[in-house]
Structure 1
């Protein structure tokens, strides 16, 4: 599916989408001042980005197989570049939101497209390669806020413009991408699978697993600083611990790549969900909380990329399955904030790790159900 240069370019592309997603938050102070926005209105920039992301996933899926992969990926990079430039130069907030939506369309196309192609394009190495690919997203998510911090939030337009320009050279590397994806019989997993009602159930539980685990990912990222401050840590220590959480998520994906060559996706995700649940429970002990949250980042890291090859094995002919779970993961990130906020209103901030631990236990239950269900149909 990919030449060596195209693999490197794809990893750079994932660094860029990680940067893009992480730029909106640090730019909020400058956006509020420039456009006279309330905090909630300024936060709509990231919401528009995610709405565009879901649209990009669905559009890529609709055109997948009908239009060559190079053409769709190229269009996605161009949409990201044009949207980022438009966000930087927009004279009014509605135009900036429209530009963020446009950039999100490209973001979703790259996110889904490369995940889909890596899931079927590397044979038995697909799980390892997906973890490496998604680890580069984490690299970008760490770099984004660092860039805004280095130049100052007031100079966010320059950062978005540079981001737009950096997208363009990647278009030259698309000739190394195979224009047609292999069919299920050509890929790593060419047997087994589930059918009929069982297929619908398996897809539904996969969607639930993705929604729930991304909800945990966003929940920890959003509420860890508040929880740590509530139980007695200083603001600086809480912010540092949260950065370590995101760093561990990136490190975890690099670490699991060689493990994925020797162990099945099912085994890796089971261990990940169990470890994540234990760490979240330990995070309710104030003395252990910062270290436990770092453990959550390490254990949650492989779930998103490792689940995709397992999904392709369980449902090799369900063409829309990958789009469904990736779009669901984005919805999970959007819904997590308000849902967790409501739960915290009646339980208190101290209960954050226990609430998330309960959700993590549901992830483990979903994983065990999927193992039993897909195994029974592939034997």
Structure 2
């Protein structure tokens, strides 16, 4: 198959205004995503559901982010990125309204699934925009991810400060901000290209496989800590607000890790940063395992080292697979697969085996990431 040129190089440049608007949308999507942690016990308490059942609502959301991602990949050559970004965020907005306002478990799950489709489509389109535009750079991707990290911190922190009773307003305002930001986005009027991909990834195939496997387990680790840390705090005679603040503490270190990633990206190659970060995560996690009184601090500190992994994985894959946007889609699928598979499993483990079983399961995920 020959390459089909869908846009001139100059037409694929992400303008400064476009980068700012896309970063704001990305940040507020991060804000909304990390609110799932404090939302899970809130949903369970509000609707008289078990911990594992509330986890299944999150699983429905995450599974359908996979579907949204695939839709962008399948129809990407037919529509500009801006088309997916603006319509995807509307779908996510409608779905999240249902998640925070409906009371029936089935309708909650369906709303979560609907939100997931829009969230996945928008997320992949924004990632393609950051990594595949004509003026894309490794540092710029880290800056966008740092903004997302800040949004991720702000989500649970806002709930912790304003109280769980304000969750509906907080979520609607956050995803609504993303929606508004996409209305002003410029530099996204181009499509993902068609290509002959067999020659694009052969020399990097093994490395690509290793990176993707590490990302799946890393994503499971990050999402499981963020999703269930508030529940653990609440189950340990804490309040939902204190649980939300513990999640915010995790994302504080996560955000710091993203900003540190911006700096070290100037000196180290992405694959080196990924390996160093995964191995360094063993330090705070061991602290959490063996110092139960400071478990929440140890788990929160893990965020410092998992923060830089996603942007550097994205940049490495985009750099190694020019003209092969499917690789970026596969990365998103790997991240979403980890977030879909492992948090519900660890929710069942937490319910059946308690905190000890939960920590052992996290240790296994971390070991698999490093392996």
User: What TM-score comes out, normalization by structure 2 length?
Assistant: 0.79
CA contact (8 A) 1:61 1:320 kept: yes
State the partner residue of 1:176: 187
**2:264 paired residue among 236, 259, 281:** 259
State the partner residue of 1:218: 223
| 2: CA distance, partners of 1:205 / 1:271 | 15
User: Measured at CA, do residues 362 and 74 of structure 1 come closer, stay the same or move farther in structure 2, by a change above 3 Å?
Assistant: same
| 2: CA distance, partners of 1:327 / 1:17 | 17
State the partner residue of 2:4: none
State the partner residue of 1:314: 320
1:145-171 deviation digits (Å, cap 9, x = unpaired)? 344445543444433443454344223
State the partner residue of 1:13: 25
| 2: CA distance, partners of 1:225 / 1:32 | 12
Does residue 63 of structure 1 match 2:75? yes
Does residue 76 of structure 1 match 2:88? yes
CA contact (8 A) 2:257 2:305 kept: yes
State the partner residue of 2:330: 324
What aligned pairs does 1:338-357 form with structure 2 within 5 A after superposition? 338-340=344-346, 349-350=355-356, 356-357=362-363
State the partner residue of 1:281: 286
User: Measured at CA, do residues 163 and 93 of structure 1 come closer, stay the same or move farther in structure 2, by a change above 3 Å?
Assistant: farther
| 1: CA distance, partners of 2:102 / 2:344 | 29
CA contact (8 A) 2:34 2:226 kept: no
State the partner residue of 2:38: 26
State the partner residue of 2:370: 364
Moved more, 346-355 or 160-169: 346-355
User: Measured at CA, do residues 357 and 176 of structure 1 come closer, stay the same or move farther in structure 2, by a change above 3 Å?
Assistant: same
User: Measured at CA, do residues 2 and 178 of structure 1 come closer, stay the same or move farther in structure 2, by a change above 3 Å?
Assistant: farther
The one of the two structures with greater contact order (alpha-carbon pairs below 8 A, sep at least 6) is: 2
| 1: CA distance, partners of 2:179 / 2:200 | 39
Offset, 1:13: 0.8
State the partner residue of 1:377: none
**1:301 paired residue among 302, 307, 310:** 307
Offset, 1:54: 1.2
> How many residues align structurally?
354
| 1: CA distance, partners of 2:133 / 2:182 | 20
**1:206 paired residue among 211, 216, 219:** 211
**1:334 paired residue among 336, 340, 364:** 340
| 2: CA distance, partners of 1:2 / 1:21 | 25
Moved more, 7-16 or 216-225: 216-225
| 1: CA distance, partners of 2:245 / 2:166 | 24
What SS is found at the alignment partner of 2:137?
A: helix
1:29-72 deviation digits (Å, cap 9, x = unpaired)? 66456655444444443223212211111111112232111111
| 2: CA distance, partners of 1:340 / 1:93 | 20
CA contact (8 A) 2:51 2:347 kept: no
The CA RMSD measured in Å over matched residues stands at: 3.7
User: What TM-score comes out, normalization by structure 1 length?
Assistant: 0.77
1:201-248 deviation digits (Å, cap 9, x = unpaired)? 444323211111112213433566788999xx9958987665432211
Offset, 1:311: 1.6
What aligned pairs does 1:63-142 form with structure 2 within 5 A after superposition? 63-90=75-102, 92-121=104-133, 126-142=137-153
Could you list the runs of 5+ residues in structure 1 that have no partner in the other structure? Answer: 186-191, 366-379
User: Measured at CA, do residues 174 and 184 of structure 1 come closer, stay the same or move farther in structure 2, by a change above 3 Å?
Assistant: farther
State the partner residue of 2:6: none
CA contact (8 A) 1:29 1:153 kept: no
State the partner residue of 1:153: 164
| 2: CA distance, partners of 1:27 / 1:227 | 13
CA contact (8 A) 1:279 1:296 kept: yes
